[in-house]
Amino acid sequence: MANYDPASFEKKWQDEWAAKKVNAARDQSDKQKFYVLDMFPYPSGAGLHVGHPLGYIASDIYSRYKRLQGFNVLHPMGYDAFGLPAEQYAIQTGQHPAVTTKENIARYREQLDKIGFSFDWDREVQTCDPNYYKWTQWIFLQLFDSWYNPANKKAEAINTLIAQLEMEGYKGNEDEALTGGFEIEIPAFTAAEWKNFSAAKKEEFLLNFRLAYLSETFVNWCPALGTVLANEEVKDGVSERGGHPVERKKMKQWSLRITAYSERLLEGLERIDWSASIKETQRNWIGKSEGCSIEFSIDGSQEKIEVFTTRPDTIFGVTFLTLAPEHPLVADITPAEHRSIVSEYVEKAKNRTERERMSDVKHISGEFTGAYAIHPFTGKKVPIWVGDYVLAGYGTGAVMAVPGHDSRDHAFAKHFGIEITQVVEGNVAVDIQEDSYDAKEGKAINSDFLNGLEVKAAVKAAIKAIEEKGLGKGKTNYRLRDAIFGRQRYWGEPIPVEYNNGLPYPMREELPLVLPEIDKFLPTEDGDPPLARAKDWKYETTTMPGWAGSSWYFLRYMDPKNNTSFASKDALNYWQNVDLYVGGSEHATGHLLYARFWMKFLYDLGLVPVDEPFKKLINQGMIQGYSAVVNKVPLLEKYTLYISNELAAEWKKKDEIPAFLQAEFEKHGVQNVSVNHIIEERIDINLVKGDYELDVESFKHSFHFEKGGEFIQEGKSFQVAREVEKMSKRWYNVVNPDDICNKYGADTLRMYEMFLGPIEMAKPWNTNGIEGVYRFLGKLWKLYIGENGESLVVDDAATKDELKTLHKTIKKVKEDIENFSFNTSVSTFMIAVNELGQMKCHKREVLEPLSVILSPFAPHIAEELWSKMGNAFSVTEQTFPTHDESYLVENSFAYPISINGKTRTTIEMALDMNPDEAQALIMANDIVQKWMEGKPLKKFIFVKGRIVNVVV
RNA sequence: GCUCGGGUGGCGGAACAGGUAGACGCGCGGGACUUAAAAUCCCGUUUCCCUAAAGGAAGUACGGGUUCGAUUCCCGUCUCGAGCACCA
């Protein structure tokens, strides 16, 4: 066992750490706390691939570093265990999702253990565990029992709303003290009337305010998956998972009133250290726009049309109004002679699926209603149109069209020949008839009292005038919609609610409401969700969505076994929130938004001490697969021809069969083939040698190979193409971390994943450099251990150079960890080992601290060497050394000397030399003299410790 | 279309704060050890010119600018990626 052999000790130390609980966080501690969290995984049947641990390794390094710095570190792991895949599998096989989930978790655990993570497994949580989801249900009931009080800008018990209603009644939509400006279609009533309402009627009213509420809403219904989907689970009109079509359907649904928190979710972003891009994504998703509402009266009608606009300054540019086809007033205002054509259009537009409407943006359609509105300032008649470019669900479903300054209105006006007027003038002259001028810069023109005002001032002046005339008022709109909180599925948290006359009430029994056993994991014959199959089930039959359990799990880790509350006050006050959260950016508008929402809600109720769950967020980039692709031409009733990539690529590029290939085709009697006959087949990446060479023999024995197939290649080897794409079983490009651990050991895997590049960058998995990391660990080993396994470490005093190497390494590694620049710290270790190897350094004074600073990255080898030096367990419990600047001070520096900005030579000079002395020395130099070519010195630039520039 | 990031050798990527561009690793070339191979070690490796060596020129997507000096700052163009997208 002389050479580095990770297999001989990695398991030993993993067991030792687990047995001695070196990773356990302390509940009580005088130490400062530090909470490092990974986004917990959904345990899929495929197991972990090398992409998953990327973030875990980074957070593990940070956790171990913080422990060495003397912090009490909480670094837990668990499983987001409810979810669709286990259930789909259950439907196909009859296997209970709890069983597959358990198996998958066991597999994940085994894989995670192999990599040597310092998780505190005593705190593991699984969202499908009744002891856990009891509290998910409990939080849901708190949401049900609360409303958002706009006056106090926070959630409160619903009783405070009831108290207000008993005192003052409800003033209808205008009652912003209660509604906060949200539209609720319930007429006003007095306090006395409220008191006389039946219990059911009161309950029905309160549902409009509860933060968890039941309502009839349009949902994204996915027939193929048999469930509704959240907005962020729908991309381009199809489901994100599986790509099934999604329809708009009206259903009774549980929702959470996240919209009440729009403003606070936006504001909170200012106080957290997340990447700019995630913050931007959340801001877009919340979609705040400030503007105002304006009422237009209709010529010859009592009805009024309310529009929302962010550009009230362009009010004088309004030349028509457009209503969404779904707008309730369309039918009322359309005069008889236009009715048939308008209603025909409306029907057609309504029946277009969401998908068509979204993907077919270029096609302009609309219809004139025949009705006119009155311009509130000019009194002119403006035509009212219907158009499907206006969305029913945003604002009021009606727009005041300003074709001069809104490109969509412009396109519509141009298409139908409606008048276009310019009311804002920018710096550049534009032909407003050709293109709209959308920029929010310039001065108002043709706009009566607004003339001459800059856009910003004009907006303010317009809102003021509109409010004074009683036409409308300043208003803020958000794009964010309430979150639908129910799935027509089995494998999720039951919603602890029972019904009385169709109205929901919290269940009376004690939580948890345990998921019942059912005979089949399918909807009933009546189309009810699977839970309706359960015996004597009197509760809600939908279950909670996947994100329920993940919206608060980070709190449970603080006190995972508590039976009397979701976490104790002491634990919550000590741990507060997550200091460092590491995970993928794909959760930007889902989990990361919902978790913030729940945290703010719990904060409002005084249940947690802070209102943001994750102080700092690092997004690890995806590790992509490096798929191997063979080109083949299947010949009907004949064999398949495999074509080496250099030929196929040329063929595809020129759309012309390369001469060599043509000759081969003739040999095989192949005629009439075109580029379109080439099929690109993904094959197992293990069948490729190096980057591009197909291992033909192995390939012939694999299931990919079609019998009788022949290979055509021009060069020595048969080439495949490579494609960078998602790592996935279906592309045969998955690399399993176990295989890497078995071959090179966990430490090599850990360091190699970090060495690949900056943590947040996406990159394809490529093992090309892994040998280098393995060799580095081998060289490190040799500093400590001799050929016969004996320790080489000696107690002699280290030399100045050795100490310099050590201390600059400590300094750089510390800086790099704190900047999450793990790739450069791996380089730094390599440089240190190279230098110490050159110096043949075996000094304890150097090697002991080196093993400590390496231990966050490569804990197994660090522990092994630590122990081989005769030290007591454990390296993980040491203190991260501080570097001593005095070892790093230089007293001279090889100054690069530039002449006119080009480096010509270097001259070694003392660092304390002053510019005048330096100048004298430099000007005397032969090379400098040569380059000056006798020209006079114009300027002499001397930057201490950096550079000298001689200008002639 | 809008917003935000990127573009550096054959490859992954370094370069703190405007100061020696290409650290570290891979790959490749050469050498040592070995009967041989593996492993290990040493030397070289941006491109071009010249070359025994020395030396020189160009060079961080492209074109301009600021500066004694620009991968870094500013303006314009191209391009790749991500997010948003009839959101009024």
Retrieve residue A352's tokens.
């277009």
Provide the residue ranges of all domains of chain A, joining segments of one domain with +: 40-139+548-619, 146-198, 289-477, 623-725, 750-887, 892-951
CB A676 within 8 A of CB A702: no
A428 CA vs B77 C1’ separation (Å):
21
What distances in angstroms separate CA A557 from CA A124, A340, A563, A576, one per listed residue?
Answer: 7, 63, 13, 12
Q: Residue A516: its pLDDT value, please?
A: 95
Which 3 state secondary structure label does DSSP give A321?
A: strand
Q: Is the CB of A941 under 7 A from strand B?
A: yes
For A100-137, the pLDDT digits (tens) are: 999 999 999 999 999 999 999 999 999 999 999 999 99
Residue A888 phi, psi dihedral angles, 5° rounding: -95, -15
Q: What angle do CA A181, A183, A184 make, to 5 degrees?
A: 120
pLDDT of residue A209: 94
CATH code: domain A750-887 is: 1.10.730.10
Give pLDDT, residue A433.
Answer: 85
β-strands A623-634, A721-725 pairing: antiparallel
Q: Which of residues 450-509 of A touch strand B (CB under 7 A)?
A: 477, 479
Q: Which nucleotide is nearest to A3 (CA to C1')?
A: B39
Asked whether residue A585's C-beta has any atom of DNA/RNA strand B within 7 A, the reply is yes
CA of residue A735 to C1' of nucleotide B6, angstroms: 27
Alpha carbon distances (Å) from A805 to A794, A830, A892, A932: 18, 11, 17, 39
Q: CA A905 – C1' B46 distance (Å)?
A: 20
Which residues 231-270 of A interface with strand B at a CB distance below 7 A? 232
Task: For residue A690, give the nucleotide whose C1' atom is nearest its CA.
Answer: B27
Q: Which residue has the tokens 């006395």?
A: A192
Mind listing the pLDDT tens digit for each residue in A305-327?
999 998 999 999 999 999 988 88
Whether the CB of A833 is less than 7 Å away from nucleic strand B comes out as: no
- Give the nearest nucleotide to A282, CA to C1': B83
Locate all alpha helices (DSSP H) within A417-454, ordered by sequence: none
Contact indicator for A809, A833 with CB cutoff of 8 Å: no
pLDDT along chain A (952 residues), means of 10: 85 96 91 95 89 92 96 96 88 91 96 96 97 98 96 95 94 80 80 95 93 84 76 68 73 90 90 85 86 91 90 92 90 92 86 58 82 94 92 84 89 90 79 80 87 87 91 86 88 95 93 93 84 93 93 97 96 96 87 94 97 92 84 82 85 82 88 84 84 85 89 83 80 89 95 91 84 94 90 92 94 93 94 93 95 97 96 95 89 83 82 84 84 81 85 83
A127 backbone dihedrals φ, ψ, rounded to 5°: -65, -20
Cα dihedral A836/A839/A841/A846 (nearest 10): -50
Instruction: Give the distance, in angstroms, between residue A761 CA and nucleotide B13 C1'.
Output: 12
Asked whether residue A830, judged by its CB, lies under 7 Å from any atom of the DNA or RNA strand B, the reply is: yes
* DSSP letter, residue A761: S
Bases along strand B below 7 A from a protein CB = 3-5, 11-15, 19-21, 23-27, 39-42, 56-57, 68-70, 81-84, 86-88
Rounded CA–C1' distance between A758 and B71, in angstroms: 18
β-bridge partners, A416: none
Report the pLDDT value the prediction gives residue A237, as an integer from 0 to 100. Answer: 65
Q: Kindly give the pairing relationship between strand A710-712 and strand A640-643.
A: parallel
SS (H, E, C) A51-91: CCHHHHHHHHHHHHHHHHCCCEEECCCCECCCCHHHHHHHH
Residues A531, A523 contacting (CB under 8 angstroms): no
Does residue A277 reach within 7 angstroms of strand B, measured from its CB?
Answer: yes
Q: Which nucleotide is nearest to A289 (CA to C1')?
A: B87
- CA A288 – C1' B3 distance (Å)? 15
Buried b (16+ CB within 10 A) or exposed e, A72-109: bbbbbbbbbbbbbbbbbbbeeeeebbeebbbebbebbb
On whether the CB atoms of residues A265 and A573 are closer than 8 A, the answer is: no
| Closest residue by Cα to residue A622 from A592, A580, A583 | A583
Q: What CATH fold (topology level) applies to the domain A40-139+548-619?
A: Rossmann fold (3.40.50)
Asked if A753 and A54 count as a contact pair (C-beta separation under 8 A), the reply is yes
Quick one: pLDDT at residue A815? 93
Give chain A residues 331-390 with Cβ within 7 A of strand B: 357-358, 360-361, 363-364, 388-390
Nearest protein residue to the C1' atom of B4, measured from CA: A277
By C1' distance from the Cα of A948, the closest nucleotide is B19
Give the helix ranges, DSSP H, for A74-184: 84-93, 97-114, 130-144, 158-168, 176-179
For A892-951, which CATH class? alpha beta
CATH architecture of A289-477: Alpha-Beta Complex (3.90)
Window A884-903, strand B contacts by Cβ < 7 Å: 894, 896, 898, 900-903
Whether nucleic acid strand B comes within 7 Å of the CB of A831, the answer is: yes
Give the distance, in angstroms, between residue A805 CA and nucleotide B47 C1'.
34
CA of A939: nucleotide with nearest C1': B68
What per-residue confidence (pLDDT) applies to A358? Answer: 55
Displacement of CA A343 from its chain's centroid (Å) = 43
User: Cβ of residue A275 near strand B, that is under 7 Å?
Assistant: no
Task: Say whether the CB atom of A824 is under 7 angstroms from strand B.
Answer: yes
| Nucleic strand B under 7 Å from the C-beta of A291 | yes
Strand B and A773 CB separated by under 7 Å: yes
Does an H or E element contain A250, and which? strand A247-256
Q: Is the CB of A524 under 7 A from strand B?
A: no
Q: How far: A205 CA to B37 C1' (Å)?
A: 85
Tally helices (H) and strands (E) across chain A. 32, 35
Spatial distance from the CA of A840 to the C1' of B60 (Å): 37
Q: For strand B, is any atom closer than 7 Å to the CB of A908?
A: no
Element (H, E) at A212: strand A212-222
Residue partners of A422: CB distance under 8 A and separation at least 6: A317, A404, A405, A432, A437, A445, A446
